[in-house]
Amino acid sequence: MVLNYSQPLEISNLTSWLDSTLRGNLSEFWALLIEFVLVAVVLLTAYAVIALILIYAERKITAFFQARYGPNRVGKWGLLQSVADMVKILLKEIVRINRSDRFLFFAAPFFMIIASMLTFGAIAFGKGLHAIDFNIGVLYVTAVSSLGIIGVLLAGWSSNNKYSMIGAMRSGAQFVSYELSAGFALMTIVVLAGTMQFSTMIEGQRYCWNIFNGHISSIIAFVIYLISGHAETNRGPFDLPEAESELTAGYHTEYSGLQFGFYYLAEYLNMFIIASIATTVFLGGYMPIQVHGWDGFNQIMAYIPTYVWFFGKTAVLIFLSLWVRWSFPRLRIDQLLNLEWKYLLPINLVNLLLMVILVLTGFTLTGLFPGLF
């Protein structure tokens, strides 16, 4: 085992040590099997823990935006509030709905959670903390994240409840529309980065993040991605599927207990996933801030572990999403579709073209100042 003294806090030191010990003592099959199981357990745990942290953070930040304190009774500063909520949700009865489509009703939450779980696996949390790294990573993420909508539509359909149905249809229309914009925004950056693989994309952003590299075009793509990602996660101001006065709770009206917990978890994790994809694609992922020529500075920055950088950047984007959520009034369904089809999509197409021209003519920052970035 060779300790990496330059980056002693990296988890990849631990994982590579684990890998070499397992391979040294076991045959390759068993070593791989144990590693797969470990990765799955760690990812599932991280999924639940991140959701709990996000729920707490959201409630606190929401409260601060509304000049309140937020949860502050359970544990110090209410830190255990979301744990208590989780225990409550686990203990609740799972209600069987009369004349609902039993099989689909029970299957629907799993579609939702599996889709977000699959996307979750493709996130690069840090150097070497990357479960799935296809050479078509961006395509994979957009493909599996769109599976979640099946869970939503199934939930609405199988609940035998017109409010759930309307909520699910709204959610479906919204999701399908905004998926398009999110895909195009990612495509713009794929043009700039020249790769679809997340790890290569992150390495390419060592000295110049994609959001700066493609300047105008990148920033437009970034904003569009954040808007459409926000809309995809069905959160305010785009929370049309959940309208208390019109549709009660939308597609998950009839769900209770753990099944509702799945939707709840997936909603929060989708927010995290959108933020982390945006971090990876636009903000250099787990890369520390590095400047050409400033070796001392670079070393200090690189001393901070990569997962801290990743979670820090993601947290900023999540805060941005909460800020937007508590600033703007809800949209009507026609305004929602107007925004997508009349504004975001045309701008996006023009932006994609602009990015292609920028890359071809070498007007990106790395193209203009090759020594600096």
Partner 1 sequence: MSSVSQYFSGLFTGIKSLMLGMSVTWKELWTKKVTQQYPENRGTLVISDRFRAELTMPHDENNEHACTACGICQMNCPNGTITVNSKMIETEDGKKKKILDTYQWDLGMCTFCNLCVLTCPSDAIKFENTFENAVFTRSKLMQQLNHEGSKLREKKKEPLIPKGE
CB-wise, 25 or 66, nearer to partner 1?
66
| Residue 310 to residue 289: CA distance in whole angstroms | 11
Q: Which residues in the 336-355 window bind partner 1 by CB under 8 A?
A: 342-343
DSSP class of residue 252 equals G
Q: What minimum distance in Å lies between the beta carbon of 176 and partner 1?
A: 23
Cα–chain-centroid distance for residue 177? 18
CB-wise, 122 or 220, nearer to partner 1?
220
Residues contacting partner 1: total by CB under 8 A: 13
CB-wise, 64 or 303, nearer to partner 1?
64
276 in helix, strand or coil?
helix
CB-wise, 328 or 369, nearer to partner 1?
328
Q: What minimum distance in Å lies between the beta carbon of 68 and partner 1?
A: 5
When asked if residue 64 is in the footprint of partner 1 (CB under 8 A), the reply is: yes
Q: What single string gives the DSSP state of each residue in 9-78? A: T-HHHHHHHHHHHHHHHS-HHHHHHHHHHHHHHHHHHHHHHHHHHHHHHHHHHHHHHTT---S-SSSGGG
Amino acid identity, position 74:
V
Alpha-carbon torsion, ordered 40, 42, 45, 49, to 10 deg: -140
Separate counts of helices (H) and strands (E) for the chain: 17, 2
Among 67, 293, 296, 361, binds partner 1 (CB under 8 A): 67
Q: What minimum distance in Å lies between the beta carbon of 261 and partner 1?
A: 28
When asked if residue 77 is in the footprint of partner 1 (CB under 8 A), the reply is: no
When asked if residue 323 is in the footprint of partner 1 (CB under 8 A), the reply is: yes
CB-wise, 127 or 325, nearer to partner 1?
325
Binding region for partner 1 (CB under 8 A): 64-69, 323-324, 326-328, 342-343
